[in-house]
Chains A and B, each alone.
Chain A
Amino acid sequence: MTDIEQTRAEAPQQQRAAAPPQGREKKLPTRDRWVVITMVTIPLVLVVLLVWVPAALSFALSFGKWNGFGDLDTIEWVGFQNYKDIATIYPPFWPAIQHNLIWLVFLFLFPTVLGMLLAVVLDREMRGSRFYQTAFYMPVVLSMALIGFIWQLFYSRDQGLINDVFGTQIDWYGDPDINLWAVLVATAWRHTGYIMLIYLAGLKGVDASLREAAAVDGAGEVKTFFNVIFPVMRPINLIVIVIVVIESLRAFDIVWVINKGRNGLEVIGALVAQNVIGEATRYGFGSALAVIMMLISSVFITIYLRNVFREERTR
């Protein structure tokens, strides 16, 4: 264990040594200063214009009732009415929250763990590991919308492969009690490969001497992984957590192609789209849903950022 702690502590020290002393206070040459200013300003302007301004406008709109006809002064300001309606008389809302959470837990429990396992197994340079890597990674290049369609061929009640093979009549996409799970399986098909690849890349970056040291100390495969490799991979683990959270909160495309996020497949992203994008133009109501989604995401983002900052401070 001391080995690892040492390596971890050494890395930043080396970096610090390489940087010039008091680098921040030293004045940069004019040209460099301009380069830095431009490189900070352009992304900043883009982020503000494309993310923060629309988000703020969305927030403002969520207190109004507007069908998109006429000028902005036709917006009827209704205070918290939209939020109240969403929570009390909008039947798809609570199921949607529930489904997003199920999505999150499911992705963590199954495809993420499976992806890690596959990565560890494939990392062992067994025969044909390249082939398996490609095979497992293949679904990742497909869009979620396409995946929804591909699985439709398996799941269709009357014409699907699964029911054909087993002679059953299960309505995989239509029965609200099971369609969420059917969709999650399809999502997992893609997600597993994604996590596997990220993890595999992380594993390749682990110093081989750590494993040797662990082996010399007499640790078995499993023990080596959990006590040595897994802690060293902390940055990758954090990335995986963030990816899983983001993927489950923005779940949208696959349910949208299946049934536009209705009937058992309600998720917040789809509800926003139903109210704003399609023929319906409940801009205020849809914005309120979007704000709720933003708030939920910020909870996770805050936890993540706090973790990252705390880590930097302890360094």
Chain B
Amino acid sequence: MSLSRSSAIPRSALTTMAASRRTVLRGMALSGLAVGGANLLAACGGDDDSGPSSGSGATVKFGINEADGSGPAYDRLKGMADAYTKETDTKVSLNAVDHNTFQESINTYLQGTPDDVFTWFAGFRMAQFAENGLITDLSDVWPIDGLNDSFKQASTAPDGKQYFVPVSYYPWAVFYRKSVFEKNGWVAPETNDDFMALMDDMQGKGITPFAFGDKDGWPAMGTFDILNMRLNGFDFHMSLMAGDEAWDGDEVKLVFDTWRTLLPYHQADPLGRTWQEAATAMGKGECGMYLLGTFVVDALGENGEDLDFFTFPQLDSSIPADSLDAPIDGFCVAAAGQNQEAGKEMIKWLGSAQAADAGNNAADAPFIAANSGASTSTYSDLQKKSVEVVSAAANIAQFMDRDTNADFANTVMIPSIQEFLKNPDDIDGITASIQEQANSIF
């Protein structure tokens, strides 16, 4: 328990400095978590477990990052937990936490008394947890029927072992309204020339080619990711994210420079606009396209029947357009969880096609299951197409804030990209500043 207490120190220290009601409450909640956790540990320490550790009659704790009543995302996870209980007679004790709170307190959570199985994402932070011994080696759970090699790759930490079981994913692509494209006789571009011609035609017709909003700081990362993958290739992108390449080198400068030439085709003043507002602009036909994740439909308040998408076209003839961002959601077993055996058993089941179906049948809107055996009958057309596009992709990135150090993504890249959007001509200054700060973090 000294671990969780110690990590709570700066938070409580902060409460006194920048005391706002929110931070105070969070600080209280966190220290409550740590203290309460200690009591819990003391209370059930020892081997006096009443039931078996796994199988029928056992209990497994399941921490999920969707609060009760938060919509289909919660319903799916709840549906999976219920189906697991039904299937194996294992009791699942669900711990539902609000999405952002879960994500922001994950460090304290994992070093305190975490649940046995918890929801998480593939990527750098998963690997970081693995390196620090906070999550359990799952290489004996793999391979899992229906999860192909690229998913296994995404579940693997740098030490070559798997620590993660994927359940679903969503691709980032260029979305557009079918009706708008039809009316104007536009088609999804295949090459860079088509792409430029399409954007010029849109501008000629008084339609802004790209909707764009970056008030929250992260949406523009998607643009950086795709441009970097198209211009410098997937391998460079990943090693840049890992901190192994120079941010002030010619490659990154080329990305920003290309972005600068594309900015006139984007909505002006992105820094005051949320992604929802940008999505609305595309939905209303004021903008032709929007580069975002499939969650773009959520902002439009419709089922997405009039939406379609294409992957970002090729920019460099030597680099095929076969990489994209498709963040993968899934599960990990916490190393500090009390019931490792039950956790592993459950996580193996969670990766199955059966689990994905149970989740999708329990909710109004399905996710795109990672398991190839899962039923696609409930999928919308957009989701069916997403499956095709992602299966055809040679490389899948997880999105910048999942692929790189969270400290770097949040405190350096968000302000730097915003600075670039304000001052697109100061590329040298911005990349130099990113590199200086990267040196102090990596």
Interface residues of A (CB under 8 A from B): 50-51, 54-55, 57-58, 61, 67-72, 81, 85, 89-92, 143-145, 156-159, 169, 171-176, 179, 250, 252-253, 256, 259-260, 262-263, 268-270, 272-283, 285-287, 290, 293-294
Nearest-CB residue, chain B, relative to A70:
B132
User: Across the interface, which residues of A come within 8 angstroms of B111, CB to CB?
Assistant: 68-69
A263's partner among B2, B12, B422 (CB-CB below 8 A) is B422
User: Across the interface, which residues of A come within 8 angstroms of B280, CB to CB?
Assistant: 158-159
Task: Evaluate contact between B437 and A157: CB separation under 8 angstroms.
Answer: no
A81 to chain B, nearest CB (A): 8
Assembled-state Cα–Cα distance A286/B11 (Å): 10
Task: Evaluate contact between B411 and A280: CB separation under 8 angstroms.
Answer: yes
User: Across the interface, which residues of B come within 8 angstroms of A268, CB to CB?
Assistant: 18
Task: Evaluate contact between B272 and A173: CB separation under 8 angstroms.
Answer: yes
- 4 smallest CB-CB distances across A and B, nearest first, come from A174-B272, A58-B13, A54-B13, A269-B18
Task: Evaluate contact between A280 and B410: CB separation under 8 angstroms.
Answer: yes
With contacts A158-B281, A263-B415 taken as known, whether A175 is within 8 angstroms of B23 at the C-beta atoms is no
Task: Evaluate contact between B9 and A61: CB separation under 8 angstroms.
Answer: yes
Assembled-state Cα–Cα distance A228/B436 (Å): 58
Assembled-state Cα–Cα distance A276/B7 (Å): 11
Assembled-state Cα–Cα distance A89/B411 (Å): 12
User: Across the interface, which residues of B come within 8 angstroms of A252, CB to CB?
Assistant: 18, 20
A143 to chain B, nearest CB (A): 7
Assembled-state Cα–Cα distance A122/B350 (Å): 66
User: Across the interface, which residues of A come within 8 angstroms of B415, CB to CB?
Assistant: 91-92, 262-263
Assembled-state Cα–Cα distance A270/B281 (Å): 30
Task: Evaluate contact between A68 and B437: CB separation under 8 angstroms.
Answer: no
Could you list some 8 contacts between A and B, CB below 8 A? A57-B10, A158-B281, A259-B217, A275-B411, A276-B10, A277-B14, A280-B407, A282-B411
User: Across the interface, which residues of A come within 8 angstroms of B21, CB to CB?
Assistant: 143, 253
Nearest-CB residue, chain A, relative to B9:
A57
Residue from B15, B22, B272 having most chain A Cβ neighbours under 10 A:
B272
User: Across the interface, which residues of A come within 8 angstroms of B79, CB to CB?
Assistant: none
Q: Does B260 contact A (CB under 8 A)?
A: no
Task: Evaluate contact between A281 and B407: CB separation under 8 angstroms.
Answer: yes
Task: Evaluate contact between A279 and B104: CB separation under 8 angstroms.
Answer: yes
Task: Evaluate contact between B215 and A274: CB separation under 8 angstroms.
Answer: no
With contacts A157-B273, A272-B18 taken as known, whether A54 is within 8 angstroms of B410 at the C-beta atoms is no
User: Across the interface, which residues of A come within 8 angstroms of B416, CB to CB?
Assistant: 91
Could you tell me which residues of chain B, from 5 to 36, have a CB within 8 Å of some CB in chain A?
6-7, 9-23, 26
Q: Does B145 contact A (CB under 8 A)?
A: no
Assembled-state Cα–Cα distance A24/B363 (Å): 73
The dominant DSSP class at the B interface is: helix
With contacts A90-B437, A173-B215 taken as known, whether A55 is within 8 angstroms of B13 at the C-beta atoms is yes
Q: Does B270 contact A (CB under 8 A)?
A: yes
Task: Evaluate contact between B13 and A57: CB separation under 8 angstroms.
Answer: yes
Task: Evaluate contact between A280 and B406: CB separation under 8 angstroms.
Answer: yes
Assembled-state Cα–Cα distance A272/B411 (Å): 10
Q: Does B401 contact A (CB under 8 A)?
A: yes
Task: Evaluate contact between B271 and A91: CB separation under 8 angstroms.
Answer: no
User: Across the interface, which residues of B come within 8 angstroms of A278, CB to CB?
Assistant: 104, 410
Task: Evaluate contact between B16 and A51: CB separation under 8 angstroms.
Answer: yes
Assembled-state Cα–Cα distance A145/B103 (Å): 21
Task: Evaluate contact between A175 and B269: CB separation under 8 angstroms.
Answer: yes
Task: Evaluate contact between A274 and B271: CB separation under 8 angstroms.
Answer: no
Task: Evaluate contact between A68 and B107: CB separation under 8 angstroms.
Answer: yes
B2's partner among A71, A158, A287 (CB-CB below 8 A) is A71
User: Across the interface, which residues of A come within 8 angstroms of B13, CB to CB?
Assistant: 54-55, 57-58, 61, 287, 290
Q: Does B134 contact A (CB under 8 A)?
A: yes
Q: Does B440 contact A (CB under 8 A)?
A: yes
Could you tell me which residues of chain B, from 387 to 442, have a CB within 8 Å of some CB in chain A?
401, 406-407, 409-411, 414-416, 418-419, 422, 433, 436-437, 440-441
A219 to chain B, nearest CB (A): 44
Task: Evaluate contact between B10 and A61: CB separation under 8 angstroms.
Answer: yes
Assembled-state Cα–Cα distance A287/B16 (Å): 12
Assembled-state Cα–Cα distance A144/B18 (Å): 14
Assembled-state Cα–Cα distance A175/B423 (Å): 12
Nearest-CB residue, chain A, relative to B437:
A89
Q: Does B245 contact A (CB under 8 A)?
A: no
Q: Does B316 contact A (CB under 8 A)?
A: no
User: Across the interface, which residues of B come within 8 angstroms of A272, CB to CB?
Assistant: 14, 17-18
Beyond the given A71-B6, A279-B104, A279-B410, could you list 20 further A-B residue pairs with CB under 8 A, ordered by the A residue number? A54-B12, A55-B16, A58-B10, A61-B10, A89-B437, A90-B437, A145-B20, A158-B277, A159-B277, A171-B271, A250-B19, A253-B22, A260-B216, A262-B415, A276-B10, A279-B406, A280-B407, A281-B107, A283-B10, A286-B14
